[in-house]
Chain A
């Protein structure tokens, strides 16, 4: 399945885009996605931390990704 990942803040600069696409297997998890992203964008590993969100909720490493989920990479937040 093809998934799109939205990027914000420093992640948008690392991706060079506000959205990237990846091809993944149908039972892929958040951990699998992190691994793939870090392979393609090694600068992610230099961040203090980052999370992934699925459909506007913070996701856990074992969560499964489904086609058409809205996925976003959330670098360390700094609002306020």
Chain B
């Protein structure tokens, strides 16, 4: 298998992601690690709560991986995403791509995270000291 996709309520294990994506054929791996930031527009963020429409989220992540394989000469793709409550500094998403040459790995990794944010049915609620907000829900 050249694609590994996971939605998990457990802490993501970054080292095991890297171990899985490495291969003797690869000249480089590109890893994007999303982390929970402590503020949004100057307001202190207490935590994030992630919810997913799981079967569709898995299906959309597989589509993005298939598109990336069509566009770039890459070897493996890993997409792991969290659900549930995350504290500041925790990791909601890990994307890893391996390729023979770095340009394809960088470009595909960027494409995967950018597209994931646009199409995959996962939602996050930011908790502030004065209440909760579903990110991007309202103009």
Q: Which residues of A contact B137 (CB under 8 A)?
A: 9-10, 47-48, 75-76, 78
Q: Tell me which residues across on chain B come within 8 A of A16, comparing CB atoms.
A: none
A9 touches B134 (CB 8 A): yes
Closest A residue, CB atoms, query B34: A80
Contacts of A6 in B (CB 8 A): 53
Report how many residues on chain B are interfacial, defined by Cβ distance under 8 Å: 29
Query: CB distance A48 to B138 under 8 Å?
Result: yes
Contact across chains for B50 and A76 when beta carbons are under 8 A apart: no
CA distance A75 to B118 in the complex (A): 11
The answer to whether B138 and A8 touch across the interface, beta carbons within 8 angstroms, is no
Binding site for A on B (CB under 8 A): 34, 50-53, 55-57, 59, 81, 92-93, 113, 116-125, 134-139
| New A-B contacts (12) at CB < 8 Å, excluding given A46-B138, A77-B136, A79-B121 | A8-B51, A8-B123, A13-B134, A53-B53, A56-B59, A57-B56, A77-B121, A79-B50, A79-B117, A79-B123, A80-B81, A80-B117
